[in-house]
Amino acid sequence: MHANWKTWTHVTKLDPDKRLPPGAVEEIATSGTDALMLSGTLNVTRENLLELLDQVSLYGLPVVVEPASPDCAIFDGGVDHLFVPSVLNTDDVRWIVGKHYTWLLSNGDGIKWDMVVPEAYIVLNPDSAVGRVTGADCNLSAREVSAFAQVADRYFRFPIVYIEYSGRYGDPRVVQAAAGAVHDAIIYYGGGIRSAKQAAEMGRYADTIVVGNAVYEEGIEVLRATVRAVH
């Protein structure tokens, strides 16, 4: 499989804090998805992250770790990329640069920089764990989201702008506005995709869609349908 993340159109997000039934990882890995992203907000530890990594690394799919905290920044064991988020729409500096500074302060020499991909997160679901934890201002218009996307792309040169509705299906017009605002960045969309129709709708504007909760709540057939919709 292709480890060049810029070419992916479908990524499956797996949460180390959630349990999958036996055989599910193999079905997910053979669903046609381009990559697996190991990511969560609550109760993610180095231990449960390594346990999930051990399960998914058998199948040859590209694996991304999106660390919730510096101790979850793992470079070994079959990890291809470390996607490191900065939440732009918060006034809590920890989630923009503070955690990153702490990480480098304690581990600056141990970072494999060729594996690190910075993400500019725009979090838009106030009821989500990531929205609450980061104190994100989720009440943004399409115009405001596009301005954040432009700041990320043109000013800070983030390679990924991630529109995150986290558990709730978002507004395609907001994603369209963000996509229209960026010049170089890849647009990722994540949140509430539970059907081929929704996958296709967001896939029109986002370069890459991320499907997460559907894996746990809807099952493998829905995941396969979302893959077909964007491929």
Question: Which residues on adjacent β-strands are paired with residue 160?
Answer: 119, 186
Is 66 one of the annotated binding-site residues? Answer: no
Per-residue confidence band for 23, with pLDDT thresholds at 50, 70 and 90: confident
**pLDDT tens-digit map of 77-105:** 899 999 999 999 999 999 999 999 999 99
pLDDT at res. 118: 98
pLDDT at res. 1: 46
pLDDT at res. 93: 97
Please state, as a whole number, how many other Cβ atoms lie within 10 Å of the Cβ of residue 132.
Answer: 15
**pLDDT tens-digit map of 195-211:** 999 999 999 999 999 99
User: Domains along the chain?
Assistant: 8-230 (3.20.20.390)
Question: pLDDT over 70 for what percent of the chain?
Answer: 99
Provide the mean pLDDT of the chain. Answer: 94
- Is the sign of the CA dihedral 14, 20, 23, 27 positive or negative? negative
Question: pLDDT over 90 for what percent of the chain?
Answer: 80
Is 86 one of the annotated binding-site residues? Answer: no
Is 41 one of the annotated binding-site residues? Answer: yes
pLDDT at res. 83: 97
**pTM reported for the whole predicted model:** 0.95
**Which residue has 């509430």 as its token pair?**
192
Q: How far apart are CA 150 and CA 95, in angstroms?
A: 19
Q: Is the pLDDT of residue 2 over 90?
A: no
Is 188 one of the annotated binding-site residues? Answer: no
Is 184 one of the annotated binding-site residues? Answer: no
pLDDT at res. 45: 87
**pLDDT tens-digit map of 142-183:** 999 999 999 999 999 999 999 999 989 999 999 999 999 999
Per-residue confidence band for 21, with pLDDT thresholds at 50, 70 and 90: confident
What integer is the mean pLDDT of 70-79? 89
Q: What are 168's two structure tokens?
A: 């709730």
Is 13 one of the annotated binding-site residues? Answer: yes
Q: What are 60's two structure tokens?
A: 């040859």
What residues have CB less than 8 Å from 144, skipping those under 6 apart? none
Q: Is the pLDDT of residue 19 over 90?
A: no
Q: What are 87's two structure tokens?
A: 């939440």
Is 32 one of the annotated binding-site residues? Answer: no
Per-residue confidence band for 107, with pLDDT thresholds at 50, 70 and 90: confident
**pLDDT tens-digit map of 120-143:** 999 999 999 999 999 999 999 999
Is 15 one of the annotated binding-site residues? Answer: yes
Q: How far apart are CA 36 and CA 12, in angstroms?
A: 5
